[in-house]
Amino acid sequence: MNFDFTDEQKMFKSALERVVREKIEPLLASYPEDQPLPRDACVKIRETLLPLGIHGSRVPVEYGGSGLGAVGLGIAAETIPYEAFELLMCMEVVALRICMGGSEEMKRKYVPKIMNGEKFAASGTSEPDVGSDPRGIRTRAVLKGDRYILNGTKIWVSAGSVADYLLIVASMGKDEKGGNIITPFLVDVKESPVVVKNLDLMGIRQSHICEVFLEDVSVPKENIFIGAKGHAHRILTGSWLSQRPVVGLCNIRLAQKAYAAALKYSLQRHQFGKPIASFQLVQNMLVEMRTLIDCSQLLCYRALTMFDEGKRPDVESSMAKYYACEAALRVTSLAVQVHGAFGITKEFPVEKYYRDERVLSFPDGTIDIQKLIVGRELTGIRAFS
Ligand SMILES: Cc1cc2nc3c(=O)[nH]c(=O)nc-3n(C[C@H](O)[C@H](O)[C@H](O)COP(=O)(O)OP(=O)(O)OC[C@H]3O[C@@H](n4cnc5c(N)ncnc54)[C@H](O)[C@@H]3O)c2cc1C
């Protein structure tokens, strides 16, 4: 059993850490913390990170993928601030999904433009009334002549307000058993305009999580995912399988930052004539934080390694995401506790980690949904409804 990264992965991680320290963090700090980054800043982030290949991690090499794999994407998630990582991650997911379910023509037309850094991309599945159960999707796609006409509203679309390509999951009606026929469609927003509105969240406020309004949006009929017609869940669950531990590691990045800040503060802050780190109860918090982080990393990288080895980590992936999110919620909260009342001021970074973490536990399925998936795999019984 090997618990370490390969030499290549270690080199990738240290190159990434340097770029984040020297370029990405200063760039993020030069913009207001409470507003989505302007497009030119997003372009700068993309240009800076493009040579590292994150946006092509799981994309097949024949379509321009970088071969970093799911573990490489996980390393990036754990290293890059989410506000910047979001842009690359969403490009990667859309390119991967096109490769999984798009026609050969779609793969040749759209994937290279994402891979060469010309286009941003985002995925819209969730709707105001549809969250954990995507089978209820209401956005409609109706074929009229040689175009599909899309109508509906998507919400929580990450990187949605900068995206050039939107992957929209829509319903094509009901099958003979009354089931919703849901299918992804690719919308090139330059040719088929949509209306977007950034959401004002409590955390990760420089990111671009938005609502997308589709009103008679007309797309060429070739932009349907032929490999997933009526079976969008195959594409969604196929990519979520390795995506969920990646999101877990985004959460763990915040936990690590919070832990480091708490450790530093506990050694500097004196009460009763001693550093607070010398009190057993404070050490207990630090030990719990560090243990939760280590366990989460092991679970996430185990699932990602399985995926890269061609195995299906059905249990391991959801277990990793649920554990990492719960761990990060606890760790960021404990970090505030170690700081006492100063922890809730803007003077220290832990209040931001706490707010950011509250937001980041939701993407790609809540903690409860991950537990239900693991429960289903263990017992063979679906306890969703
Ligand atoms: C930062 C961020 C980024 C996101 N990015 C995207 C994106 O790019 N594209 C996209 O399509 N979506 C995105 N989402 C949406 C995300 O996938 C949903 O928030 C998530 O799937 C949960 O849906 P919901 O918020 O509507 O909660 P709901 O489904 O309404 O759930 C509410 C509560 O009920 C619980 N619950 C629901 N069903 C059950 C059940 N059967 N048993 C027990 N408990 C249950 C949930 O666990 C939760 O606690 C993003 C969300 C966030 C916060």
pLDDT tens for 170-202 read 999 998 888 899 999 999 999 999 999 999 999
Mean predicted confidence (pLDDT) in 258-281: 98
Ramachandran class of 185: left when φ > 0, alpha when ψ lies in -120 to 50, beta otherwise = beta
Query: Which mutation among 362, 370, 371, 372 tests ligand 1's pocket best, with the greatest number of atoms within 8 A of CB?
Result: 362
Q: Who's near 22: CB < 8 A, 6+ residues apart?
A: none
pLDDT in tens, 66-79: 999 999 999 999 99
Burial class of 223 by CB neighbour count within 10 A (0 to 12, 13 to 18, 19+): buried
- Nearest atom within ligand 1 for CA of residue 361: 53
d(CA 79, CA 59): 20
Task: Say how many Å lie between the CA of residue 132 and the centre of ligand 1.
Answer: 5
Closest CA to 341 of 251, 269, 254, 290: 269
Q: What is the mean pLDDT of residues 373-382?
A: 97
- Looking at every residue in the chain, the average pLDDT score rounds to 96
Is residue 274 very low, low, confident or very high in pLDDT (cuts 50, 70, 90)? very high
Nearest one of 210, 154, 220, 213 to 187, comparing CA atoms = 220
Kindly tell me if the per-residue pLDDT of 233 is higher than 90: no
pLDDT tens digits, residue range 85-132?
999 999 999 999 999 999 999 999 999 999 999 999 999 999 999 999
Amino acid 232: pLDDT: 81
CA-nearest residue for atom 16, ligand 1, is 363
Residue 347 in this model has a pLDDT that exceeds 70: yes
Q: What is the pLDDT of residue 179?
A: 87
Per-residue pLDDT at 243: 96
Four-CA torsion 379, 300, 134, 223, nearest 10 degrees: -130
Predicted confidence (pLDDT) at residue 228 exceeds the cutoff of 80: no
Provide Rg for the chain, Cα atoms: 21
Cβ < 6 Å from ligand 1: which residues?
123-126, 131-132, 156-158, 209, 359-360, 362-366, 368-369, 372, 384-385
Residue nearest to atom 13 of ligand 1 (CA): 156
Q: Which atom of ligand 1 is nearest to the CA of 90?
A: 8
Nearest atom within ligand 1 for CA of residue 364: 17
Q: What is the ipTM of this complex?
A: 0.98
Going along the chain from its start, the domains and CATH numbers come out as 7-115 (1.10.540.10), 121-228 (2.40.110.10), 233-379 (1.20.140.10)
pLDDT at 2: 84
